[in-house]
Amino acid sequence: MARQTKITLDESTRKELLVWSKSTKMEYRYVLRSKLILMRSEGKTYDEIQRHLDITRPVVAKWIKRFQEKGIEGLFDLKRSGKPAKYSDADVAKVLKLAVSKPPGGYTNWSQRRLAKEAGMSQWKVNQILKEQNLKPHKVEYWCGKSPDPEFESKMLNIVGLYLNPPENALVLCVDEKTQIQALDRTQPQLPLTYGKPKRQTATYKRNGTVSLIAALSVHDGEITANTMKKNNADNFLKFLKKIDRKYTNTKLHIIVDNLAIHKHKKIKDWLKGKRKIQLHFTPTYSSWLNQIEIWFNILSRDVLKGGVWKSRKQLVDQLLEYIKTYNETRAKPFEWTYNGRSKNS
Protein backbone atom coordinates (compact mmCIF):
# COMPACT_ATOMS: atom_id res chain seq x y z
CA MET A 1 0.00 0.00 0.00
CA ALA A 2 1.26 3.46 -0.93
CA ARG A 3 2.49 5.65 1.90
CA GLN A 4 -0.20 8.02 3.17
CA THR A 5 1.07 11.57 3.57
CA LYS A 6 0.58 13.17 6.98
CA ILE A 7 -0.65 16.75 7.31
CA THR A 8 -0.03 19.17 10.17
CA LEU A 9 -1.88 22.51 10.19
CA ASP A 10 -0.94 25.72 11.96
CA GLU A 11 -3.77 27.53 13.75
CA SER A 12 -4.36 30.23 11.09
CA THR A 13 -4.51 27.69 8.26
CA ARG A 14 -6.88 25.49 10.24
CA LYS A 15 -9.19 28.45 10.89
CA GLU A 16 -9.23 29.42 7.22
CA LEU A 17 -10.01 25.86 6.13
CA LEU A 18 -12.81 25.67 8.70
CA VAL A 19 -14.33 28.83 7.22
CA TRP A 20 -14.10 27.28 3.75
CA SER A 21 -15.66 24.02 4.92
CA LYS A 22 -18.74 25.79 6.35
CA SER A 23 -19.18 28.33 3.57
CA THR A 24 -22.45 28.48 1.67
CA LYS A 25 -21.07 30.93 -0.91
CA MET A 26 -17.84 29.24 -2.08
CA GLU A 27 -17.93 26.79 -4.96
CA TYR A 28 -18.58 23.29 -3.65
CA ARG A 29 -15.28 21.91 -4.98
CA TYR A 30 -13.36 24.18 -2.59
CA VAL A 31 -15.61 23.27 0.32
CA LEU A 32 -14.96 19.60 -0.45
CA ARG A 33 -11.18 20.06 -0.68
CA SER A 34 -11.04 21.94 2.62
CA LYS A 35 -12.97 19.14 4.35
CA LEU A 36 -10.55 16.62 2.82
CA ILE A 37 -7.49 18.40 4.22
CA LEU A 38 -9.09 18.90 7.64
CA MET A 39 -10.01 15.22 7.88
CA ARG A 40 -6.46 14.16 6.97
CA SER A 41 -4.99 16.54 9.55
CA GLU A 42 -7.22 14.83 12.15
CA GLY A 43 -5.67 11.46 11.30
CA LYS A 44 -8.39 10.07 9.03
CA THR A 45 -7.10 7.53 6.49
CA TYR A 46 -7.42 7.94 2.75
CA ASP A 47 -10.11 5.24 2.71
CA GLU A 48 -12.11 6.95 5.47
CA ILE A 49 -11.93 10.29 3.63
CA GLN A 50 -12.92 8.60 0.37
CA ARG A 51 -16.00 6.97 1.91
CA HIS A 52 -17.09 10.04 3.91
CA LEU A 53 -16.81 12.53 1.04
CA ASP A 54 -17.87 10.07 -1.68
CA ILE A 55 -14.83 10.69 -3.90
CA THR A 56 -12.18 8.44 -5.42
CA ARG A 57 -8.88 7.59 -3.76
CA PRO A 58 -6.80 9.26 -6.54
CA VAL A 59 -8.70 12.50 -5.88
CA VAL A 60 -7.85 12.25 -2.16
CA ALA A 61 -4.17 11.67 -2.94
CA LYS A 62 -4.09 14.48 -5.55
CA TRP A 63 -5.31 17.24 -3.26
CA ILE A 64 -3.29 16.13 -0.26
CA LYS A 65 -0.18 16.21 -2.45
CA ARG A 66 -1.10 19.64 -3.86
CA PHE A 67 -1.67 20.97 -0.35
CA GLN A 68 1.68 19.59 0.84
CA GLU A 69 3.44 21.35 -2.02
CA LYS A 70 1.68 24.75 -2.06
CA GLY A 71 -0.50 25.03 1.05
CA ILE A 72 -3.96 26.55 0.63
CA GLU A 73 -2.99 27.97 -2.78
CA GLY A 74 -2.62 24.39 -3.97
CA LEU A 75 -6.34 23.77 -3.45
CA PHE A 76 -7.25 26.14 -6.28
CA ASP A 77 -7.55 24.86 -9.84
CA LEU A 78 -4.59 25.53 -12.10
CA LYS A 79 -5.11 28.11 -14.82
CA ARG A 80 -5.98 26.39 -18.05
CA SER A 81 -4.63 27.26 -21.45
CA GLY A 82 -7.29 28.24 -23.91
CA LYS A 83 -8.61 30.96 -26.12
CA PRO A 84 -7.26 34.35 -24.96
CA ALA A 85 -9.67 36.94 -23.62
CA LYS A 86 -11.40 39.01 -26.26
CA TYR A 87 -10.97 42.24 -24.35
CA SER A 88 -7.86 44.26 -23.53
CA ASP A 89 -6.81 46.33 -20.53
CA ALA A 90 -8.11 49.37 -22.41
CA ASP A 91 -11.53 47.71 -22.74
CA VAL A 92 -11.59 47.01 -19.00
CA ALA A 93 -10.60 50.58 -18.16
CA LYS A 94 -13.30 51.99 -20.47
CA VAL A 95 -16.07 49.88 -18.93
CA LEU A 96 -14.95 50.59 -15.37
CA LYS A 97 -14.78 54.33 -16.00
CA LEU A 98 -18.30 54.32 -17.41
CA ALA A 99 -19.73 52.02 -14.72
CA VAL A 100 -18.72 54.32 -11.86
CA SER A 101 -19.90 57.50 -13.64
CA LYS A 102 -23.42 58.95 -13.86
CA PRO A 103 -25.07 57.85 -17.11
CA PRO A 104 -26.24 60.53 -19.58
CA GLY A 105 -29.74 61.01 -20.88
CA GLY A 106 -31.49 61.42 -17.55
CA TYR A 107 -30.79 57.86 -16.36
CA THR A 108 -29.84 57.23 -12.72
CA ASN A 109 -28.23 53.80 -13.14
CA TRP A 110 -26.44 51.93 -15.91
CA SER A 111 -27.82 48.75 -17.45
CA GLN A 112 -25.42 46.32 -19.13
CA ARG A 113 -27.09 46.96 -22.46
CA ARG A 114 -26.58 50.73 -22.27
CA LEU A 115 -23.02 50.27 -20.96
CA ALA A 116 -22.24 48.04 -23.93
CA LYS A 117 -23.67 50.56 -26.38
CA GLU A 118 -21.74 53.45 -24.80
CA ALA A 119 -18.48 51.47 -24.70
CA GLY A 120 -18.88 50.19 -28.25
CA MET A 121 -18.62 46.50 -27.37
CA SER A 122 -20.87 43.48 -26.92
CA GLN A 123 -23.09 43.05 -23.88
CA TRP A 124 -21.40 39.69 -23.24
CA LYS A 125 -18.01 41.40 -23.05
CA VAL A 126 -19.33 44.03 -20.63
CA ASN A 127 -20.93 41.31 -18.53
CA GLN A 128 -17.61 39.43 -18.25
CA ILE A 129 -15.66 42.57 -17.29
CA LEU A 130 -18.18 43.57 -14.63
CA LYS A 131 -18.27 40.03 -13.26
CA GLU A 132 -14.47 39.83 -12.99
CA GLN A 133 -14.33 43.23 -11.24
CA ASN A 134 -17.33 42.37 -9.02
CA LEU A 135 -19.16 45.54 -10.08
CA LYS A 136 -22.98 45.72 -10.06
CA PRO A 137 -24.02 49.14 -11.37
CA HIS A 138 -27.70 48.11 -11.45
CA LYS A 139 -27.84 47.49 -7.68
CA VAL A 140 -28.27 49.97 -4.84
CA GLU A 141 -27.86 49.15 -1.17
CA TYR A 142 -28.96 51.29 1.77
CA TRP A 143 -27.53 51.84 5.19
CA CYS A 144 -28.32 54.00 8.19
CA GLY A 145 -26.12 57.05 7.98
CA LYS A 146 -24.50 58.44 11.09
CA SER A 147 -26.77 60.72 13.07
CA PRO A 148 -25.45 64.30 13.34
CA ASP A 149 -27.02 64.60 16.81
CA PRO A 150 -24.21 65.51 19.28
CA GLU A 151 -26.20 63.73 22.00
CA PHE A 152 -26.76 60.59 19.93
CA GLU A 153 -25.00 58.21 22.30
CA SER A 154 -26.69 59.43 25.48
CA LYS A 155 -30.15 59.46 23.85
CA MET A 156 -29.62 56.05 22.27
CA LEU A 157 -28.42 54.51 25.56
CA ASN A 158 -31.37 56.05 27.36
CA ILE A 159 -33.88 54.48 24.95
CA VAL A 160 -32.16 51.09 24.81
CA GLY A 161 -31.98 51.18 28.60
CA LEU A 162 -35.75 51.69 28.77
CA TYR A 163 -36.19 48.64 26.53
CA LEU A 164 -33.83 46.35 28.44
CA ASN A 165 -34.13 47.64 32.00
CA PRO A 166 -37.37 49.59 32.45
CA PRO A 167 -37.89 51.50 35.72
CA GLU A 168 -39.93 49.68 38.37
CA ASN A 169 -43.67 50.40 38.45
CA ALA A 170 -43.45 52.24 35.14
CA LEU A 171 -44.64 51.60 31.59
CA VAL A 172 -42.57 52.20 28.44
CA LEU A 173 -44.56 53.23 25.36
CA CYS A 174 -43.34 53.84 21.80
CA VAL A 175 -45.49 56.40 19.97
CA ASP A 176 -45.50 57.60 16.37
CA GLU A 177 -47.78 58.50 13.48
CA LYS A 178 -48.28 56.77 10.14
CA THR A 179 -49.65 59.50 7.91
CA GLN A 180 -51.36 59.71 4.52
CA ILE A 181 -52.59 56.11 4.35
CA GLN A 182 -54.58 56.11 1.10
CA ALA A 183 -57.97 54.46 0.79
CA LEU A 184 -57.44 53.14 -2.73
CA ASP A 185 -60.12 51.40 -4.77
CA ARG A 186 -59.48 49.66 -8.09
CA THR A 187 -61.30 50.63 -11.27
CA GLN A 188 -62.26 46.98 -11.89
CA PRO A 189 -63.23 44.23 -9.41
CA GLN A 190 -60.34 42.32 -7.90
CA LEU A 191 -59.79 38.82 -9.30
CA PRO A 192 -59.46 36.27 -6.49
CA LEU A 193 -56.56 33.92 -5.81
CA THR A 194 -56.87 30.71 -7.86
CA TYR A 195 -54.72 27.65 -8.40
CA GLY A 196 -51.53 28.72 -10.18
CA LYS A 197 -52.47 32.41 -10.21
CA PRO A 198 -52.06 35.10 -7.52
CA LYS A 199 -54.74 37.59 -6.51
CA ARG A 200 -54.94 40.14 -9.34
CA GLN A 201 -55.81 43.85 -9.43
CA THR A 202 -55.97 46.47 -12.13
CA ALA A 203 -53.05 48.87 -12.24
CA THR A 204 -55.51 51.76 -12.36
CA TYR A 205 -57.15 53.00 -9.18
CA LYS A 206 -59.18 55.79 -7.64
CA ARG A 207 -58.56 57.56 -4.36
CA ASN A 208 -61.20 57.67 -1.64
CA GLY A 209 -59.38 59.89 0.83
CA THR A 210 -56.55 59.42 3.30
CA VAL A 211 -56.23 58.38 6.93
CA SER A 212 -53.51 59.08 9.46
CA LEU A 213 -52.91 56.67 12.32
CA ILE A 214 -51.28 57.46 15.65
CA ALA A 215 -50.30 54.44 17.71
CA ALA A 216 -48.57 53.49 20.94
CA LEU A 217 -46.79 50.19 21.49
CA SER A 218 -46.51 49.01 25.08
CA VAL A 219 -42.95 47.72 24.84
CA HIS A 220 -43.05 44.97 27.45
CA ASP A 221 -46.39 43.36 26.62
CA GLY A 222 -46.85 44.35 22.95
CA GLU A 223 -50.32 45.89 23.30
CA ILE A 224 -51.26 48.56 20.74
CA THR A 225 -53.30 51.67 21.51
CA ALA A 226 -54.31 53.72 18.46
CA ASN A 227 -56.44 56.52 17.08
CA THR A 228 -57.23 57.40 13.48
CA MET A 229 -57.25 61.08 12.56
CA LYS A 230 -57.68 63.34 9.56
CA LYS A 231 -54.71 65.58 10.31
CA ASN A 232 -51.41 65.01 12.03
CA ASN A 233 -51.02 68.06 14.26
CA ALA A 234 -50.27 69.06 17.84
CA ASP A 235 -53.95 69.04 18.81
CA ASN A 236 -54.38 65.41 17.77
CA PHE A 237 -51.09 64.40 19.38
CA LEU A 238 -52.22 66.05 22.64
CA LYS A 239 -55.60 64.31 22.36
CA PHE A 240 -53.79 60.96 22.04
CA LEU A 241 -51.54 61.68 25.03
CA LYS A 242 -54.65 62.40 27.10
CA LYS A 243 -56.12 59.07 25.97
CA ILE A 244 -52.98 57.25 27.13
CA ASP A 245 -53.05 59.19 30.40
CA ARG A 246 -56.64 58.03 31.06
CA LYS A 247 -55.91 54.45 30.05
CA TYR A 248 -52.87 53.99 32.29
CA THR A 249 -53.93 55.68 35.52
CA ASN A 250 -51.60 55.67 38.53
CA THR A 251 -48.71 54.47 36.36
CA LYS A 252 -45.57 56.42 35.49
CA LEU A 253 -45.24 56.56 31.71
CA HIS A 254 -42.01 56.80 29.69
CA ILE A 255 -43.03 57.68 26.13
CA ILE A 256 -40.54 57.38 23.26
CA VAL A 257 -41.19 59.69 20.29
CA ASP A 258 -39.21 61.12 17.38
CA ASN A 259 -38.23 64.76 16.82
CA LEU A 260 -41.29 65.81 14.85
CA ALA A 261 -42.14 69.45 15.61
CA ILE A 262 -45.64 68.64 16.88
CA HIS A 263 -44.12 66.44 19.61
CA LYS A 264 -42.34 69.53 20.98
CA HIS A 265 -45.19 72.00 20.46
CA LYS A 266 -45.87 74.57 23.20
CA LYS A 267 -49.30 72.99 23.84
CA ILE A 268 -47.62 69.67 24.59
CA LYS A 269 -45.01 71.24 26.88
CA ASP A 270 -47.63 73.20 28.78
CA TRP A 271 -49.81 70.12 29.31
CA LEU A 272 -46.86 67.99 30.43
CA LYS A 273 -45.96 70.51 33.14
CA GLY A 274 -48.97 69.31 35.10
CA LYS A 275 -48.31 65.62 34.41
CA ARG A 276 -45.34 64.53 36.48
CA LYS A 277 -46.12 60.89 35.77
CA ILE A 278 -45.42 61.32 32.01
CA GLN A 279 -41.95 61.78 30.57
CA LEU A 280 -41.17 62.06 26.86
CA HIS A 281 -37.91 60.60 25.50
CA PHE A 282 -36.83 61.83 22.05
CA THR A 283 -34.92 59.63 19.62
CA PRO A 284 -31.69 61.15 18.25
CA THR A 285 -31.89 63.11 15.00
CA TYR A 286 -32.45 60.82 11.97
CA SER A 287 -32.77 57.82 14.29
CA SER A 288 -36.50 57.15 14.45
CA TRP A 289 -35.59 53.50 13.72
CA LEU A 290 -34.79 53.27 17.45
CA ASN A 291 -38.52 53.57 18.08
CA GLN A 292 -40.06 50.07 18.22
CA ILE A 293 -43.43 51.28 16.93
CA GLU A 294 -41.74 51.42 13.50
CA ILE A 295 -41.47 47.61 13.63
CA TRP A 296 -45.20 47.35 14.24
CA PHE A 297 -45.99 49.79 11.44
CA ASN A 298 -44.06 47.48 9.11
CA ILE A 299 -46.21 44.55 10.29
CA LEU A 300 -49.35 46.64 9.72
CA SER A 301 -48.25 47.52 6.19
CA ARG A 302 -47.62 43.88 5.35
CA ASP A 303 -50.83 42.53 6.93
CA VAL A 304 -53.31 45.26 5.99
CA LEU A 305 -52.14 47.99 3.64
CA LYS A 306 -50.32 46.03 0.92
CA GLY A 307 -52.82 45.25 -1.84
CA GLY A 308 -55.77 46.59 0.13
CA VAL A 309 -58.96 47.81 -1.57
CA TRP A 310 -61.33 50.24 0.15
CA LYS A 311 -64.52 51.80 -1.18
CA SER A 312 -64.36 54.68 1.30
CA ARG A 313 -62.23 56.29 3.97
CA LYS A 314 -64.56 54.88 6.64
CA GLN A 315 -64.04 51.34 5.34
CA LEU A 316 -60.27 51.79 5.73
CA VAL A 317 -60.69 53.21 9.24
CA ASP A 318 -62.94 50.31 10.26
CA GLN A 319 -60.45 47.74 8.95
CA LEU A 320 -57.52 49.39 10.74
CA LEU A 321 -59.36 49.40 14.06
CA GLU A 322 -60.56 45.83 13.57
CA TYR A 323 -57.01 44.68 12.81
CA ILE A 324 -55.63 46.41 15.92
CA LYS A 325 -58.30 44.73 18.07
CA THR A 326 -57.46 41.32 16.56
CA TYR A 327 -53.72 41.94 16.95
CA ASN A 328 -54.09 42.77 20.65
CA GLU A 329 -56.26 39.71 21.29
CA THR A 330 -54.20 37.16 19.37
CA ARG A 331 -50.67 38.32 18.64
CA ALA A 332 -49.55 41.08 20.99
CA LYS A 333 -46.24 40.26 22.64
CA PRO A 334 -42.94 42.07 23.20
CA PHE A 335 -40.46 42.09 20.34
CA GLU A 336 -37.50 39.81 20.98
CA TRP A 337 -34.10 41.51 21.23
CA THR A 338 -31.70 39.70 18.88
CA TYR A 339 -28.88 42.17 18.13
CA ASN A 340 -25.60 40.92 19.64
CA GLY A 341 -23.53 44.07 19.21
CA ARG A 342 -21.72 42.89 16.09
CA SER A 343 -22.33 43.67 12.45
CA LYS A 344 -23.07 40.82 10.04
CA ASN A 345 -19.69 41.35 8.37
CA SER A 346 -17.61 41.27 11.56
Centroid of chain to Cα 166:
27
Which are the contacts of 170, defined by CB distance < 8 A and separation ≥ 6?
Answer: 251, 252, 253, 254
* pLDDT per residue as tens digits for the range 142-155: 666 778 888 899 99
At residue 304, the pLDDT reads 93
Specify burial of residue 320 (Cβ count, 10 A radius: 0-12, 13-18, 19+).
buried
The CA distance from 125 to 311, in Å, is: 52
The CA distance from 331 to 217, in Å, is: 13
At residue 80, the pLDDT reads 66
Walk along the chain (346 residues) in steps of 10 and give the mean pLDDT of each run. Answer: 76 89 85 92 91 92 91 83 68 87 88 91 89 84 76 92 91 96 81 73 80 96 95 95 94 95 95 93 91 95 90 94 96 82 52
pTM of the model: 0.62
Which are the contacts of 252, defined by CB distance < 8 A and separation ≥ 6?
Answer: 167, 169, 170, 171, 277, 278, 279
The CA distance from 281 to 21, in Å, is: 48
Domain 153-330 coded CATH 3.40.720.10: no
At residue 189, the pLDDT reads 75
At residue 1, the pLDDT reads 47
* pLDDT per residue as tens digits for the range 169-183: 899 999 999 999 998
At residue 339, the pLDDT reads 62
* pLDDT per residue as tens digits for the range 288-319: 889 999 999 999 999 999 888 899 999 999 99
Helices (H), the chain: 11-22, 28-41, 46-53, 57-70, 89-99, 112-119, 123-133, 152-164, 234-247, 266-273, 293-300, 313-330
Whether 50 and 64 have beta carbons less than 8 Å apart is answered as no
